[in-house]
Amino acid sequence: MRTFNVRRARFIALCLLPGVVFVALFTYYPVLRGAVMAFQRYNLFDLTSTPFTGLENFRAVLGEERFWTALRNTGTWVVVSLFFQFFLGFGLALLLRRHFRGRGLYQAWVFFPWAMSGFLIGLLWRWMFNGQFGVINDLLLKTGIIDQRIGFLASPGWAMTSVIVANVWYGVTFFAIMIMAALQSVPKELYEAADVDGASRLRQFWHVTLPHIRTTLALIVLLRIIWILNFPDLIYSMTGGGPAGSTDIITTFLIQQVIGGDYGRAGAVGLLVLGLLLSFSVFYLNATRFEKSR
Amino acid sequence: MRRVATLAKVVVLAAWLLITLFPLYWVVVTSLKPKPEIFAVPLKYWPGEVTFEHYEELFSFADFGTYLLNSLMVSLVAAGAVTAIGVLGGYTLARFTFPGRGVLMLAFLVTQMIPLFIALGPLYLLMSDLDLLNRLAGLMLVYVAMLVPFSTIIMRGFYERVPVALEEAAQVDGASRLVAMVRVVIPVMLPGIAATFIFAFVQCWNELFLAITFIDSEDAKTIPVAMNSFITQYDIDWGSMAAATVVSVVPTLVLFAAIRRYIVEGLTAGAVKG
């Protein structure tokens, strides 16, 4: 055990330097500057003076009706997307758990949405949900589920459902694969022991599988919540937040502030999102007793 | 009973496959239909007549070739840099303990969770100060920064699966640490390195928001930026759009299929380990 070794320290520093520089300069610096701007009047189209205005931006944002709509929509977007991604993903994971012929090939095919960007997925579903020429209307008409075309993306009542459908389509496979990995981490001996005890499949699932993967599931779900919240790409190209703000989520709202050039307000929204995420994460980790069960 | 259960399983899996693949099928079919057929009611599920006019349009009117080259350049360079930096950084994080290691790991992890859109405005100003707006180099720099935390964390995971004894043996034989790393460890990790490179490549290829913030000149547009400018609020030329989607997604699809196993392994190992 050498306490200090110059060559070793130099090697470590040189290896880490490029990464640290890039992340500091192009991630942390702009994030911090954005946080400072939250307390400034900072409009791209009037940079003659950028005075500090305290909580002015927060007051302005919180006073805006669209902010609250976006916040409510964010709740729906995250909770409903997550619900379906989780349960459909879980079901798929259980079906894929045992090895069968062609499983690798099957996984390769169902994985393909992950090669696409949220932007392209949004476009794809925008075309399929089209009120006049959309294939979804056509299929629903043909099967007799509806008797009149629906303007899915044109009506505030349907637009959120539509973007969530697209998001679920995108996210289920990945959830399934994460959960599958978790399921495979359960030691086989536990099931063998349960078999010897004569426990049914259902009881095994409940008393062996679930307790064993609970912590992992809790973590995957948390990551997913953050991820879905930070995923405005699909909504951006599918509805642009419309109609009438009905599919605006907090991150599309944030992007609109940036495009509008009001970096002060964008900073305020960003900080509010960050605060929300952090307090939620702390609450969540506590609620799932994450620390203790490790 | 077992028969019924197996049958049910097959049906569900087949249904999911169909649901996953149908949109891909639909975009390909749309891109091959002549315009009147795209907007024909009732819809045609199989093109009556196959045409490549949308693809031709893309390359004659829209200069899609330039956008493709731009995307290719940005993605190749950025992914190369991201991978190299990840290979170096991941190695030190996996093999050494040193003061600040925990903080660094946390700093990298946190970037994956915070809404980076808060940085969009300030990044624009930074790019403007550095005179990097409308330049592919600017995009490359930002993409590298965006993907370095991920590549470093993933590479660290891959290194941890390579036994330390392997390098120690080489070092005992007189090789320096760097030589041991390059000659002994890296060859073992090549699949993981390739996977990281391709993943980064696909991310850069697909990135939209940073690109539309920094780029608006024709000759610096990447594919997503160009496609975004095809959208006018009420009118989209769906034929060209479908063709553009196919052109931009096929290469990434092939690459992704090649590395799927490693990406799944890398990500799930991270998640399961917590």
Q: For residues A138 and B42, give the distance between their C-alpha atoms in angstroms, rounded to a whole number.
A: 8
Report d(CA A21, CA A28) in Å as an integer: 10
Chain A positions touching B231 (Cβ under 8 A) are 237
The answer to whether A179 touches A217, Cβ cutoff 8 Å, is yes
Burial of B84 (0-12, 13-18, 19+ CB in 10 A): middle
Contact A274 B142 (CB under 8 A): no
Q: Express as a percent the part of chain A with pLDDT over 70.
A: 97
Determine whether the interchain pair A132/B255 forms a contact, defined as Cβ–Cβ distance below 8 Å: no
Q: Write the CA distances from A235 to A166, B9, B231, integer angstroms.
A: 9, 33, 14
Residue of B nearest to A278 (CA): B114
Q: Do B268 and A178 touch (CB under 8 A)?
A: yes
Here the tokens at position A115 are 């090669």
**Under a CB-based contact definition with an 8 Å cutoff, are residues A243 and A192 in contact?**
no
Inter-chain CB proximity A31 and B119 less than 8 Å: yes
CB atoms within 10 A of CB A108: 14
pLDDT tens digit string along A75-103?
999 999 999 999 999 999 999 888 888 88
Calculate mean pLDDT across residues B113-137.
92
User: How confident is the model over B132-148, as a mean pLDDT?
Assistant: 96
CB pair distance less than 8 Å for A125 and B23: yes
Contacts of A111 in chain B (CB under 8 A): 256-257, 260, 264
DSSP percent split of chain A into helix, strand, coil, nearest 5:
75, 0, 25
Contact B249 A116 (CB under 8 A): yes
- Read out DSSP for A228-244? HHT--HHHHHHTTT-ST
Count other C-beta atoms under 10 Å from residue A184's C-beta.
13
pLDDT tens figures, A233-292: 999 999 999 898 999 999 999 999 999 999 999 999 999 999 999 999 889 988 887 655
Q: Is the ipTM of this complex over 0.85?
A: yes
Which residue bears the tokens 């049958």? B7
Across A35-49, average pLDDT: 90
Q: % helix / strand / coil in chain B, to the nearest 5?
A: 80, 0, 20
What's residue A294's pLDDT? Answer: 45
Give the gap in angstroms from C-alpha A193 to the nearest C-alpha of chain B: 23
pTM for the model: 0.91
Mutate: best of A111, A200, A234, partner B, most B CBs <10 A: A111
Percent of chain B with pLDDT over 90: 56
| Test mutation, B12, B17, B118, chain A, max A CBs within 10 A | B118
Q: Are B121 and A34 in contact (CB < 8 Å)? A: yes
Given an 8 Å threshold on Cβ–Cβ distance, is A128 in contact with B23? Answer: yes
Residue reference for tokens 């959208």: B231
| Distance of residue B60 Cα from the nearest chain A Cα, in angstroms | 22
Average pLDDT score over residue span B226-244:
85
> Are residues A112 and B98, on separate chains, in Cβ contact within 8 Å?
no
CATH architecture of A75-249: Orthogonal Bundle (1.10)
Domains and CATH numbers, chain B: 62-270 (1.10.3720.10)
Quick one: average pLDDT of A16-32?
95
Q: Is the pLDDT of residue B261 over 80?
A: no
Best B20, B96, B117, B236 member to test A by mutation, with max A CBs in 10 Å, is B117
Q: pLDDT tens-digit profile of A262-277?
A: 999 999 999 999 999 9
Q: Is residue B189 very low, low, confident or very high in pLDDT (cuts 50, 70, 90)?
A: confident
Q: Would the CB atoms of B13 and A106 count as touching at under 8 Å?
A: yes
Question: Among partner residues B12, B96, B121, which is closest to A37 by beta-carbon distance?
Answer: B121
pLDDT band at A25 (very low <50, low <70, confident <90, very high): very high
Cβ contacts of B104 on chain A, cutoff 8 Å:
16, 20
Contact A249/B at CB under 8 A = no
Tell the residue number behind the tokens 């005890």, with chain if given.
Answer: A197
Which whole number is the average pLDDT over B205-220?
Answer: 93
Smallest CA–CA distance, residue A87 to chain B, in Å, is 14
- How many whole angstroms separate alpha carbon A217 and alpha carbon A289? 12
What is the Cα–Cα distance from B192 to B194, expressed in whole angstroms?
A: 5
Which residue's structure tokens are 């699809």?
B253
Closest A-chain CA to B127: A26
Burial of B251 (0-12, 13-18, 19+ CB in 10 A): middle
Per-residue pLDDT tens for A152-200?
A: 999 998 999 999 999 999 999 888 988 988 888 888 888 888 888 888 8
- Judge whether residue A74 has pLDDT over 50: yes
Q: What's the gap between Cα B126 and its chain centre? A: 24
Q: What's the confidence (pLDDT) of residue B274?
A: 41
Residue B251: is its pLDDT beyond 60? yes
Phi and psi dihedrals of A46, rounded to 5?
-150, 80
* Confidence band, pLDDT 50/70/90 cuts, at residue B184: confident
Tell me how many residue pairs between chain A and chain B have CB atoms under 8 A apart. 250
Say how far apart CA B197 and CA A133 lie, in whole Å: 39
End-to-end alpha-carbon separation of chain B, Å? 38
Nearest neighbour of A23 by CB, restricted to B17, B145, B236: B145
pLDDT at A174: 83
Contact status of A93 with chain B (Cβ, < 8 Å): no
Reported confidence tier of residue A1, pLDDT bands at 50, 70, 90: very low
Q: What residues have CB less than 8 Å from A53, skipping those under 6 apart?
A: A39, A40, A41, A264
- Chain A segment 45-84 residues within 8 A of B by beta carbon are none
Residue A52's DSSP bridge partners are: A40
Q: Where are the domains of chain A?
A: 75-249
Identify whether A187 is preceded by a cis peptide bond (ω within 30 of 0).
no
